[in-house]
Amino acid sequence: MTVTYTAAVASSSIGCFLKLLFRWRGSLYKLLWREFLLFTIAYYTLSILYRFALNDTARMIAKYCQEFGNLIPLAFVLGFYVSVVVARWWEQFNKIPWPDRMALFVTAHVHGHDERARLMRRTMMRYLCLAFVITMHSISPGVKKRFPTFTHMTQAGFMLPNEQKVIEDIKTPHNKYFVPLVWVTSLVTRARKEQKIKDDFAVKTLTDEINAYRGCLGGLFNFDWISIPLVYTQVVTWAAYTFFFSCLMGRQFVDAGKTEDVFIPVFTFLQFFFYMGWLKVAECMVNPFGDDDDDFDINSVIDRNLQVSYLIVDEMHSELPELIKDQYWD
Amino acid sequence: MTVTYTAAVASSSIGCFLKLLFRWRGSLYKLLWREFLLFTIAYYTLSILYRFALNDTARMIAKYCQEFGNLIPLAFVLGFYVSVVVARWWEQFNKIPWPDRMALFVTAHVHGHDERARLMRRTMMRYLCLAFVITMHSISPGVKKRFPTFTHMTQAGFMLPNEQKVIEDIKTPHNKYFVPLVWVTSLVTRARKEQKIKDDFAVKTLTDEINAYRGCLGGLFNFDWISIPLVYTQVVTWAAYTFFFSCLMGRQFVDAGKTEDVFIPVFTFLQFFFYMGWLKVAECMVNPFGDDDDDFDINSVIDRNLQVSYLIVDEMHSELPELIKDQYWD
Amino acid sequence: MTVTYTAAVASSSIGCFLKLLFRWRGSLYKLLWREFLLFTIAYYTLSILYRFALNDTARMIAKYCQEFGNLIPLAFVLGFYVSVVVARWWEQFNKIPWPDRMALFVTAHVHGHDERARLMRRTMMRYLCLAFVITMHSISPGVKKRFPTFTHMTQAGFMLPNEQKVIEDIKTPHNKYFVPLVWVTSLVTRARKEQKIKDDFAVKTLTDEINAYRGCLGGLFNFDWISIPLVYTQVVTWAAYTFFFSCLMGRQFVDAGKTEDVFIPVFTFLQFFFYMGWLKVAECMVNPFGDDDDDFDINSVIDRNLQVSYLIVDEMHSELPELIKDQYWD
Amino acid sequence: MTVTYTAAVASSSIGCFLKLLFRWRGSLYKLLWREFLLFTIAYYTLSILYRFALNDTARMIAKYCQEFGNLIPLAFVLGFYVSVVVARWWEQFNKIPWPDRMALFVTAHVHGHDERARLMRRTMMRYLCLAFVITMHSISPGVKKRFPTFTHMTQAGFMLPNEQKVIEDIKTPHNKYFVPLVWVTSLVTRARKEQKIKDDFAVKTLTDEINAYRGCLGGLFNFDWISIPLVYTQVVTWAAYTFFFSCLMGRQFVDAGKTEDVFIPVFTFLQFFFYMGWLKVAECMVNPFGDDDDDFDINSVIDRNLQVSYLIVDEMHSELPELIKDQYWD
Amino acid sequence: MTVTYTAAVASSSIGCFLKLLFRWRGSLYKLLWREFLLFTIAYYTLSILYRFALNDTARMIAKYCQEFGNLIPLAFVLGFYVSVVVARWWEQFNKIPWPDRMALFVTAHVHGHDERARLMRRTMMRYLCLAFVITMHSISPGVKKRFPTFTHMTQAGFMLPNEQKVIEDIKTPHNKYFVPLVWVTSLVTRARKEQKIKDDFAVKTLTDEINAYRGCLGGLFNFDWISIPLVYTQVVTWAAYTFFFSCLMGRQFVDAGKTEDVFIPVFTFLQFFFYMGWLKVAECMVNPFGDDDDDFDINSVIDRNLQVSYLIVDEMHSELPELIKDQYWD
């Protein structure tokens, strides 16, 4: 669903980023308010316990927490971890394949205005889009919800019933995303035989492009399969939650003489927002195909791809405006 | 509009970067003076309140701010965030496509000195430039201002009226930047049929290049569509503004005995310039197609591209100086 | 065997990463419990010694450890080192070659439904898979265990006995992974001669692809051959163990007046988990082809590759669903 | 002029890097001595003022500087900024195009030993070198000094007078570096027509290479045009100079009781060398085509390129040593 | 000679990295023991001076060193510098060209079993290997020692006497590594003329590959020519040595009351090992073609390349095992 705000910060005027703080969709507050509520409740529960049942052991624990709570360099480990996550997030986005490239090649190289040629061009593009749908079906929960089975893809027009039968008859324990790509390849070979494609160069161009498309889909699978090692994620999570656990204790009002008695520990709360927000950045970006407000809106990409593909290879095929001299001509 | 200063720092002489501090266009001061004014006013207003209405609660709040104001590692999060922004900024610049490549290919492969051949070469290049204009129209406010509608592009010579009609008749909810690219592809196919292009290699070279060009434009759209997740930007902004809010309170003169009474808190102001400046770096670079002094000057790129394209494929086409022996010959 | 958890964190709901803390396979706890046990035993042994045989020298050592134990910026060096390791880890994963690309090219370019053509297509793919097995045999202990000798590869169907004889007869001190790749190249040349491959383009496409595949295998060898310089790894290890050695001493209860007597030093233990966990991240990722829970599951990749290759180039070869008009036709 | 010292640190023996400290060319000292002199003078001037005219206000200012002088995380911002600068510096170096690639292609594909063929080969290479000279002319002050006008390039043999006339007659406000590249392209087309180039593949190879060469030159222009945003450079410079300004005050001997009276503040001076040196790294690398000792020596690259180009395409053309069996034959 | 330890850390068992601490070759200890000895001697000499000739000035200097010794963020600058060095180190390794690629292309495209064809194939590969030897001769001291002159290369079989004569007769002040590459190109052209190479595609494939090979060699030269700017290396070295100089003074036992009198300053020594070790990492990796234990073992690469090249293009040429049905056939 993708929160786009670039246009709002086009010029760096006064309080440029400041106005972004008042957004709700995809915001820190929307992501954090439940955790913050829990933290606040826990803090004040403890606070009451302290004030009414304060003994020396409790005071000692509080002081111990205060002293040692900063032993873990949380900023450091979050900084490095989020760097890794951001890099993977953008790499994943770049692995989303766009069929526009193939559409341009198809319209350039698969000639003919008869029905057979049109059918070939449309089918090629449809197979590419289908391969993308099958891939995302096993990666993105949103796509899975929209197309729970092959039948739903058939209903939505990405597959035809006879194709569905063929793909279901293939016996393999592995994901079948490559099947439509094999079909396009065969279709290219057949189009060459039927002289819809005029030369061998075009065959090379088209099969290269199919393979590049396959590479993108394979890349998406790899990102889904190989997560950042669990132990790294655990170390970071561990550090963050430990830190706030020690804050719960250590930021209480303990010693009448030394610290002020602050009823609303503003800065502890701000710190919570800051560090937890940073962790939330990682949580949002670690799986960019999920349901978060900020995750890539794959379902609209799927629709757009089929529409634009058909537009390029069919409706616009060989429709060229008349050539007229431009206004700078001589 | 792009502030270029590389030539001014060609050699690392004394005070090399120092002289850059005295520039106004695109400078820290130009970007920050309004925020700085507000900060100063707020500081002195509070200062007066303190001095004339100082009670124990106020003193306590001030001390609390002083103590906890450094809890948030602002430098850290700014460092990592700006790294991400700078990397995206440069990637975006590299996605700006230059038609020079295509122009060289067109002049090499589309032969003939008759009017039809000239028309084809010029039209190919014009379509590429048009695709760039349509793309930037929906990304850059500056380009949008210059070309609010297709009609303005036609008036500026990037489109002809008959082309405008065709493009307006295409019904699609998606951006139409790819339409001129489909036209170039068709034009290449037609030129091959009319034997202006002599061999199938050249067709492959040209369609590959058109697709590479399309890839750049698609890349620009992607950067516009997928911002850095809002939550990351909010965390950073939150941290920066919180920090200065706590400075406003905590850097006041509170305790006669311990801190000096500084009427002009130079270092607090310097710190403001430093941290806010760092945040401004991010604000400027997060959308490099905006209106800032330092943003890429796309309108001049658009003009340059059309002029140089025409120059290469038309005026200079096949104009080769006579071959004469150079001075090192034997 | 690869711990995949991306699906579990698809949406950043409350406690998103928190639930990952309760996993065992590939977890911090599974990797660290032995070290932690040793650390605890050492801590309490020392603790008892202190309490019952505390003299001034011991106290002095403890205070010295306390003071100087934070001299080494462990977080810093771990952060930079783990960055390097993570980058190499992902680069290594990307070097794993997938034969799917080649399979698509083979099914597109090696024509014919007779037995000879089928044999050629299957053999080409088998050789590619064999090259991967031979490569991983000398890199991954898991693959080595499964295929200790060439004979085991023959039994598993990656080689035929006559091929095994040929490869064993080649006298070279260097790794023989390139031998099957030379065979595929020869096979492509022969297929061209026998007109199974119709044009020279296809030969170029196929040999380029074989070479890209070889490049990946060569890359895997290089990562195995060139480790991160030993001295870097030693510096990091040295820093981590030294740090905890000084903690053992310096975190003891020493001075009755100044520190609290904490029987269970929770934060020292948490710190151990944190820093040691970070080091474990490096240990896990430095050799991603090892036996750790989180290492790449190469044996299943090997099986998958052969199965999918055969499926694409043989079972599915030229099997194309009948072309029917899709539901958006006109 | 490029300071090369890799050979001096080939093996990491004792004091390996230490001996680099005794170099003068391109060194810290050569770059910094003027700034250091100014700093020293300012320090001692202030020092004398303090000692002889010390009053309470001065002492207060000094203490204030001492306290707040470390508020700005100079190391942090320098570290991140220099990272960006170093990455750009190396990217720029990699954009310097080497004509060796083209020379190999020209000698392979432009056949014939007659004068016309020789002339074509030499002229192609000369045009490439010329394009590089024109590009660097507007980027590097050193090249501009050597070739202030086109006439100087003609005198140096990179252009012939008739070519100079053609290039000067082209009316365009934009840089003309692409003109010689259009000529090479035309020359390739002509050579194909005259059958000096035997096949269309070779034409593709050559035009692709010309375009790759053009891409490098365009890249160099882009780096020159788009500097690191001024505001980033200003923030860093601001931070560094502010820091040393506060050092000037804050490191003075103020309070007889608390700090020692150090007449030569060795560590303040060392700190100056360190931080200012780090800033100088950025100043040197931000424009690697300038006049610094460590900048790329473009003038010698220009000469080398023409000489090696002529050597490959002319003197060595088709000169192949007789084929004789090597010593490992059978 | 390359210290490979990846196999030893295949699984992250207990004390995984710990066992790496007990290695000598390429280790911290081997690299550091001389510096450490000097440091220890200096420390104890100073220590004795202090104890027996302790006066107030000495005590003041010691306290001054103690206070200001931590002013320089050594960890920071080392972290960033080593990042740059590590990136360059790996880039350099990736520039080492492997002739295996070319060997596969040569065996695929240069046909014929007669002596002339064999001679051509072998000579092509030998020239590539020769170009690598000439390149490394001027980069790596180890290769220079093995082949001090062209005559040694001839004796080792990389050149023949007639070739040596030709190469020595070429008059150019520049490195002659490109000469054998020009020869291969000519050889390819000749092989095409003699119909050993059947089509123009193959010529393109082979010349492209020669040029990619040349690009790698050129890249190696560039890394050798353009060092990390001297001033950066000096800043880092300066920071490290200054730090330890201040430690020598500041870590002495000064004040009987406040610090403990530690006869063996374990942590100062550990710190020395840590920081100096980090600097040694940079020293080792800055020139990976030197004589360090951990430097790339180029001499064995040279031998391996020639052997494997001959094996692929000559012994194995067109030797294909008989095609037999595999065990999963139907």
pLDDT category of residue D130 using cuts at 50, 70 and 90: very high
* pLDDT for residue C262: 63
Reading the block at residue C46, the tokens are 């020392």
Q: Tell me the three state secondary structure of residue B110.
A: strand
Pairwise pLDDT comparison (D192 vs D51), residue with the higher score? D192
pLDDT digits (tens, 9 = 90+) for D201-213: 899 999 999 999 9
Residues D3-42 as b or e (16 or more Cβ within 10 Å = b): bebbbebbebeeebbeebbebeebbbebbbeebbeebeee
How far B122 CA lies from chain D's nearest CA (Å)?
16
* C212 interface with A at CB cutoff 8 Å: no
* D48 interface with E at CB cutoff 8 Å: no
Which regions in chain B score pLDDT beneath 50? none
Which residues, 6+ apart, have CB-to-CB distance to A309 below 8 Å?
Answer: A99, A100, A102, A103, A125, A126, A128, A129
* A192 interface with C at CB cutoff 8 Å: no
* B311 interface with D at CB cutoff 8 Å: yes
Name the region of C111 (left: φ>0; alpha: ψ -120 to 50; beta: rest): beta
How far B264 CA lies from chain A's nearest CA (Å)?
24
pLDDT digits (tens, 9 = 90+) for C93-128: 999 999 999 999 999 999 998 999 999 999 999 999
pLDDT digits (tens, 9 = 90+) for A91-149: 999 999 999 999 999 999 999 989 999 999 999 999 999 999 999 998 998 999 999 99
Q: Which long-range contacts (CB under 8 A, 24 or more apart) does E185-189 make?
A: E185/D104, E185/D107, E185/D108, E185/E210, E186/D107, E186/D108, E186/D317, E186/D318, E186/D319, E186/D320, E187/D320, E187/E120, E187/E123, E187/E124, E187/E127, E188/D108, E188/E124, E189/D108, E189/D111, E189/D318
Of B291, B283, B295, whose CA–CA distance to B35 is shortest? B283
Phi and psi, residue C82, nearest 5°: -65, -35
* E256 interface with C at CB cutoff 8 Å: no
* A17 interface with B at CB cutoff 8 Å: yes
* pLDDT for residue C110: 93
* pLDDT for residue A68: 63
* A224 interface with C at CB cutoff 8 Å: yes
Compute the distance between CA of residue B200 and CA of residue A79 in angstroms, rounded to an integer: 52
Mean pLDDT of chain E: 86
Compute the distance between CA of residue D114 and CA of residue D195 in angstroms, rounded to an integer: 13
pLDDT at A189 over 90: yes
* pLDDT for residue E54: 66
How far E265 CA lies from chain C's nearest CA (Å)?
9
DSSP letter for B197, please: B
* B121 interface with A at CB cutoff 8 Å: no
Q: Do A296 and B226 touch (CB under 8 A)?
A: yes
Mean pLDDT of chain D: 86
* pLDDT for residue A52: 75
State mean pLDDT over C30-59: 81
State mean pLDDT over D45-68: 74
pLDDT category of residue A245 using cuts at 50, 70 and 90: confident
* pLDDT for residue D197: 93
Convert B146-184 into a string of H (helix), E (strand) and C (coil): HCCCHHHHHHCCCCCHHHHHHHHHCCCCCCCCHHHHHHH
Dmax of chain D from CA atoms?
95
Concatenate the DSSP letters of all residues of E199-241 into one string. Answer: -HHHHHHHHHHHHHHHHHHHHHHHHHHS-S-HHHHHHHHHHHH
How far B239 CA lies from chain A's nearest CA (Å)?
7
pLDDT digits (tens, 9 = 90+) for A58-69: 777 777 777 666
pLDDT at E208 over 60: yes
Q: Chain A residues with CB inside 8 Å of C281's CB?
A: 229, 231-232, 235
Dmax of chain C from CA atoms?
95
Reading the block at residue B104, the tokens are 């060289």
D330, exposed or middle or buried, with CB in 10 Å at 0-12, 13-18, 19+? Answer: exposed
Of C120, C121, C125, C128, whose CA–CA distance to C180 is shortest? C128
* pLDDT for residue C309: 94
Pairwise pLDDT comparison (E75 vs A162), residue with the higher score? A162
**How much of chain E is in helix, strand and coil states, percent to nearest 5?**
70, 0, 30
* E247 interface with C at CB cutoff 8 Å: no
Across B202-206, B284-288, C69-73, C257-261, the highest mean pLDDT is recorded for: B202-206
* pLDDT for residue A253: 60
* pLDDT for residue A96: 94
State mean pLDDT over E159-182: 92
Closest alpha carbon within chain A to B293:
A11
Residue A37: CB atoms within 10 A of its CB come to: 11
Mean pLDDT of chain A: 86
- CA distances to D122, D316, E179 from E175, in Å: 21, 15, 9
pLDDT digits (tens, 9 = 90+) for E59-97: 777 777 776 666 778 888 888 899 899 999 999 999 999
Compute the distance between CA of residue D52 and CA of residue D46 in angstroms, rounded to an integer: 10
Query: Partners of E197 in the beta sheet?
Result: E110
* D144 interface with B at CB cutoff 8 Å: no
- CA distances to A8, A137, A235, D219 from A2, in Å: 15, 19, 29, 33
Compute the distance between CA of residue A186 and CA of residue C317 in angstroms, rounded to an integer: 8
Compute the distance between CA of residue E238 and CA of residue D27 in angstroms, rounded to an integer: 12
How far A330 CA lies from chain B's nearest CA (Å)?
9
Of B322, B285, B302, whose CA–CA distance to B126 is shortest? B302
Q: Residues B292, B296, B301, CA angle at the centre, nearest 5°?
A: 135
DSSP letter for A258, please: T
Q: Tell me the three state secondary structure of residue E197.
A: strand
Q: Which residue has the tokens 């030229």?
A: C318
Q: Which residue has the tokens 């990749």?
A: C301
Residues B304/B155, Cβ–Cβ less than 8 Å: no
pLDDT at A1 over 60: no
State mean pLDDT over D263-281: 83
How far B23 CA lies from chain D's nearest CA (Å)?
9
Q: Tell me the three state secondary structure of residue A299.
A: helix
* pLDDT for residue E319: 79
Which pTM does this prediction carry? 0.92
Q: Chain E residues with CB inside 8 Å of C211's CB?
A: 101, 104-105
Q: Chain D residues with CB inside 8 Å of E141's CB?
A: 7, 10-11
How far E283 CA lies from chain D's nearest CA (Å)?
6
Closest alpha carbon within chain E to D105:
E207
Chain C stretch 60-79, residues whose beta carbon is closer than 8 A to a beta carbon of chain E: 60, 63-65, 68-69, 71-73, 76-77, 79
Nearest to B278 among D63, D77, D157 (CB): D77
* pLDDT for residue C29: 85
Nearest to D324 among E72, E160, E234 (CB): E160
Reading the block at residue B4, the tokens are 């270029």
pLDDT category of residue C69 using cuts at 50, 70 and 90: low
Of D134, D124, D130, whose CA–CA distance to D104 is shortest? D124
Q: Which chains border E (3 or more CB–CB pairs < 8 Å)? A: C, D
